[in-house]
Amino acid sequence: MKKLLPTSTAGSLPKPSWLAQPEVLWSPWKLQDQELIDGKKDALRLCLDDQLKAGIDIVSDGEQTRQHFVTTFIEHLSGVDFEKREVVKIRDRYEASVPTVVGAVSRPKPVFVEDAKFLRQQTSQPIKWALPGPMTMIDTLYDSHYKSREKLAWEFAKILNEEAKELEAAGVDIIQFDEPAFNVFFDEVNDWGIATLERAIEGLKCETAVHICYGYGIKANTDWKKTLGSEWRQYEEIFPKLQKSNIDIVSLECQNSRVPMDLIELIRGKKVMVGAIDVATHTVETPEEVASTLRKALQFVDADKLYPCTNCGMIPLPRHVARGKLEALSAGAEIVRRELMAK
C-alpha cells in the first residue's frame, strides 16, 4: 500500500436481515437454493458498498457468504462428520456442540475462490480475505481420527495452503488467518502453532496476515475478559516467535482493551493492523478516540507499517452501528494521516 495508514476491518460485517437473522453467530440463512446464492452475492455487494462509502482502503467480503468464520470452511472439507457431534470447550472458555473428525481430512474443491473472484470483479481497491487458522480450526472440532491436535493442525495447514494459493490467483492482495486460539494455548503456539501457520502461507507471493484477538463481543468472551486482570499480557507469550516468522502482518485488539500497547514493540519490523474500533460495544467511537489509539500505537510501529483496523469482526453488531464504526475508523485515520504529513 502506498497510502499511509490504510484502513481495513478484521473480517466479518453484519448481514442484511433478509439474508440471516442479525446480531447472532451461526445465524441460519433465510433463503434457499438459487435465491440464497443470489442473496449472498447481493449482500456482498452491499457490504462492499458500505466499506467504500466509509472510505475503507483495504476492503473485504465482510464474510457475507459464510455462516461462521471457522465452521463454514470446515463444512466444505471431507473427513468431518457434521451429524456426529460432541460437546467440547472452545478456547477453554465456552462449551459448544461441534462436528467430529472421522477420517483423513481433505478439500475436495475450492471453498471461497468463486466468492473472491466475485469480490475482485466489483472493485479495484486492494482486497483482504480471511481464513481460519489451523489451531483455531482444530479447537472447534472433536477429533476421533488423528487423536493429536498437532497432527490435525498440520493437515489443515496443507489444506489452507491449497485454498490460499487459489485465492491469491483470484486476485486477493492480503490473505489473513484468524487465530484467536493463539491467545489461549501459548505452549502449543510456540511448539507448532506458528510453524503450522507458516506451512499455510508457504509459497504465497501476496501479503499474509494473522489476526489474534480476544474474540467477538459476545457474553462468553466479555465474561472471560473480566477474569484476565488489569493488564492483558497474552501477546507477550507469542510475539517473540511471531516476530521471527514469515508472516507479514499481525492484526491485534487495542481499542478499549487492557493490552499494554508497548507489547507491540516485541513484533517490531512487522506490519501491524491496530484494532482501533471496539466490537464489544454499540457505542460508536469518535474519530478523535480512534486517532488517540493510533497515536499511541505509533510509538511502537513505524508509520509506514501501521494499518488502522477493528479489534475483531463486527457480525454481532447492528448494521447502523457497524457503519458508524467504519466511518469513525476512516475519519480517525485521516486525522493522524494529516498529522504525519504535516511533519
Interface ranges with Zn ion (CB under 5 A): 213, 312
Nearest approach, Cβ of residue 312 and Zn ion (Å)? 3
Nearer to Zn ion, 105 or 312 (CB): 312
Nearer to Zn ion, 105 or 242 (CB): 242
Nearest approach, Cβ of residue 216 and Zn ion (Å)? 7
Nearest approach, Cβ of residue 177 and Zn ion (Å)? 11
Nearer to Zn ion, 43 or 314 (CB): 314
Nearer to Zn ion, 209 or 312 (CB): 312
Residue 274's φ and ψ, nearest 5 degrees, are: -90, 120
- Contacts of residue 289, defined as CB under 8 A and 6 or more positions apart, other chains included, come to 255, 328, 332
Nearest approach, Cβ of residue 173 and Zn ion (Å)? 20
Determine the length of the chain: 343
DSSP letter at 262? G
N-to-C CA span, the chain: 20
> How is the chain split among helix, strand and coil, in percent rounded to 5?
40, 20, 40
Nearest approach, Cβ of residue 314 and Zn ion (Å)? 10
Scored b (16 or more CB within 10 A) or e, 259-294 reads bebebbebbeebbbbbbbbbbbeeebbebebbbbbb
Nearest approach, Cβ of residue 159 and Zn ion (Å)? 21
Nearest approach, Cβ of residue 313 and Zn ion (Å)? 6
Nearer to Zn ion, 160 or 252 (CB): 252
28, three cell numbers: 441460519
Nearest approach, Cβ of residue 311 and Zn ion (Å)? 7
Nearer to Zn ion, 100 or 136 (CB): 136
Helices marked H in the chain: 33-53, 71-75, 113-122, 134-138, 149-169, 186-188, 194-200, 219-226, 234-243, 287-297, 319-342
Question: SS3 of 64, please?
Answer: coil
The answer to whether 211 touches 234, Cβ cutoff 8 Å, is: no
- Contacts of residue 223, defined as CB under 8 A and 6 or more positions apart, other chains included, come to none
Torsion of CA 241, 242, 246, 249, to 10 degrees: -170
Q: What are the strands of the beta sheet with 306-309, ordered from one edge?
A: 128-132, 174-178, 207-212, 249-253, 271-275, 306-309
Nearer to Zn ion, 135 or 312 (CB): 312
